[in-house]
Structure 1
């Protein structure tokens, strides 16, 4: 397939499709939280691993949605690379509900935490590919370049933290998951310590 010349209309269509897929991913995750049939708050409290996994994954998917939306503001046209990079990102994000359910149902065991951290790592690779395409084919003004420089740096640090989390999972599942939580905190902050390290 060759590149298309759809302009912002095509970009908006890809973004709308992505919004729909991400909304479905979040819906699937919440449907995995089954209400207990037995009476008593202790039965509800027993679901804390499932709920905790859901909260972490919801934050994770929300961060990707926010950054996807901001990044697409710098896209100006549709290319074949952009379409497939975006599809790859959505595919990796579609694995999150499975990893979340597995982590919660297995009560944060070593194997479940390892699977979860590996799944968390995958979208970061796809996102870097997608951003590289948009940086090459999208807006080339100073504001766009500053955005890409800042977020690519933060993304590289986040990937390094995820890789560390995978290694730490072999020692303690909670240590690995703490790395995933740390990445979420870094992206939530308007100005993270990473920016401060570079004097921004």
Structure 2
């Protein structure tokens, strides 16, 4: 017979108010994404060398743009998820904290890619960090479905689409890790497949969710 949870613990660990969790999560995402630009320093060089010095920073700007785009996509997924929920549990909050734990490491991972993109370990650390963020984000969607945390008016087809799309980005990043040991540049190129797969899923999702006879 399953153990009944202490009603006092249940009252403290769960409830309908998601505002504080959402505000805190948004703050961590905002700070992490802002810190991505902090380590990109303005070159302190003579005026005639400025253009060359900025060109030398192209990998830093590439890493910044990539991380901002992926982190932004994860934030959008997180935002959509919490808009669909009717409440929270202690398990949801713990999973959310785990997600934010990895989000807070984003600046470190981005610096690794910016400074060591030609080294397998630099690319592995970056791909691992982005893959872990996406994996926990996917767990959040699965957990909420299993615990019945979604609002009753949410279309099941929308949830099915989200569960298909959410793991794509982390899967690509994690699968690129063994590639990085062979060729770091090939691993980076493999990340482009995220755009192709997500575009195809967007087309499929629109077709799946379209009302009958709307074509």
Question: Shift in Å at residue 86 of structure 1?
Answer: 0.6
Higher normalized contact order (CA 8 Å, seq sep 6+, divided by chain length): 1
Match of 2:161 in 1: 150
Displaced runs of 4+ in structure 1, greater than 4 A? 184-187, 195-199
Q: Which residue of 2 aligns with 1:139?
A: 150
- State the aligned residue count: 194
**How far is 1:58 from its partner?**
0.4
**Structure 2 residue 182 is the aligned partner of structure 1 residue 171:** yes
**1:111 matched residue in structure 2:** 121
TM-score, normalised to structure 2's length? 0.81
CA distance in 1, matches of 2:176, 2:117: 18
- Unaligned segments of structure 1, at least 5 residues: none
RMSD: 2.2
Distance 1:117 1:172, change over 3 A: same
Matches for 1:33-52 after TM superposition, within 5 Å: 33-39=40-46, 40-52=50-62
Q: Deviations over 1:96-128 (max 9, x none)?
A: 110101111224422211111111111122112
- Distance in 2, matches of 1:16 and 1:185, equals 32
Q: TM-score by structure 1 length?
A: 0.86
Runs of 5+ unmatched residues, structure 2? 1-8, 209-215
For the 8 Å contact 2:133–2:170, the answer to whether it is kept is no
